[in-house]
Structure 1
């Protein structure tokens, strides 16, 4: 484990060109995605956004642009988000969405695949790698270690949006996020248990000490649950997920991914 610092100066730059694609999951959900090629043609990086996010939003596009300097990038919208079909199950069936993106990365010719997930996308990326496999590295940024966490005000608000009819309506109208009704049955394996199943693929856990959604205990629980090879970066001053991620931090993540396949 190492403690690292990140730059907080945002650098705005033209975005790398991307090519929209439409994917189809094993259970028939249409997934809106985009492929951003890279000079490095053997490495594909799948980017999984957080809850209510989208690959079309500026923070995610900035992340894709930076990561495309290290490999080709497949970014997508989870089910129930943006232009994708279906309804969000908030981390359960979303592993099928990641599987569709990974499968597409293989089809277009990438021999090595890394998944980089943010918040909900981090939980899904860890669960996908543990339960489905087929990836060569995983990066979990600002991810939860367990379900039903309500220890912070933002997470209590998230649960309200998921559980209450008016909350689901607000998420649909304000964030273009359609949330499935009802409770999980059965409850999916939590990320900290799935993390134990990722090895021998390397796992990088990145978490900020200023995260307003999930405190550092989540990062430590994920790290404790995982087997080697694993690494934990605690980022001073870093908040939560895509919106707080600086280009400097994303470059370091890109370098970490690239170093595992050099």
Structure 2
């Protein structure tokens, strides 16, 4: 089920008029290089009448949700609304989730879904793309950035990974053991399909994809922000620390006191800090300056 960089030449087949679409919300189905349809939503930057700088016209956030999420889920819509204060936002449903086609490979071929969404965002005229991933999506944005350099239309300019794992097959918490049961057992996949509206592929990874911690060094020199809660019930804090150590000087780590896991636990204040980090001319400068 694994991918290779050979799929870099193509992504979305949808090419709407950029100037028209950037002024209004848009929904469409994108097509990945392996033929999966991906339900995708574009939200233009908000018109803001309050104090502070206006949203950046060139900036777009591409949001990669967590396992069992989807573009229409309330927590994903809340994330999108917060980021429109700083730029436009593309959300989408990974394969096997929501209205998208295919079946989930739980972080492997999902990089193709993200690449199609990023290419679509660039096709709408945005020149700065920041990918923001949560949990499973947090691992996908790291591998995507490692595989798709800035020279590719499906590449990103900065990366934010929230509540993501550092390594595969982690079973060190009760919640992750439950996730593994859902993914690997036939009865677990039935629960996912009918209870969680998520369709999971039955095949194991072959070969095993590049792990998040192995992907991180390949992202440099693009800026990387790693965000993790110190009360995350899925992945303890050794995961973000491993990722930050692998990133070195090109990475920044925010360990959030009292935060749990992924989109549900990301407070509005945190989302706005991430937005300011991304909107800075060099991501991270505004935050370090206390803006």
Structure 2 residue corresponding to 1:151, chosen from 162, 172, 176 = 172
Deviations 1:112-148 (A, max 9, x none): 1000000000000000001112211000000000000
Residue 55 (structure 1) shift: 1.6
Partner of 1:234: 255
- 1:29-108 equivalences under 5 Å are 29-38=36-45, 39-108=55-124
Confirm or deny: 8 A CA contact 1:195 1:227 kept in the other structure: no
**Which residue number corresponds to residue 226 of structure 2?**
205
With 193-202 and 34-43 compared, the bigger mean Cα shift is at 34-43
Q: Which runs of 5+ in 2 are unaligned?
A: 1-23, 46-54, 150-154, 284-291
3-state secondary structure, aligned to 1:228: helix
Name the residue aligned to 1:4.
none
The higher radius of gyration belongs to 2
Normalized against structure 1, the TM-score is what?
0.92
Contact 1:25 1:31 in 2 (8 A): yes
Match for residue 129 of structure 1 among 126, 137, 145: 145
Q: Name structure 1 gaps, 5 residues minimum.
A: 1-16
Runs (4+) off by over 3 Å: none
Q: Note the C-alpha offset of 1:174.
A: 1.2
The higher-RCO structure (CA 8 Å, 6+ apart) is 1
How far does the alpha carbon of each residue in 1:36-73 deviate from its partner, in whole angstroms, 9 at most, with x for none? 00153200110000000112111110010000111110
Give, in angstroms, the shift of residue 261 of structure 1.
4.8
| TM-score, scaled relative to structure 2 | 0.83
Q: Shift of the alpha carbon at 1:240?
A: 0.2
CA distance in 1, matches of 2:99, 2:162: 24
Matches within 5 A, 1:207-226: 207-226=228-247
Aligned length: 246
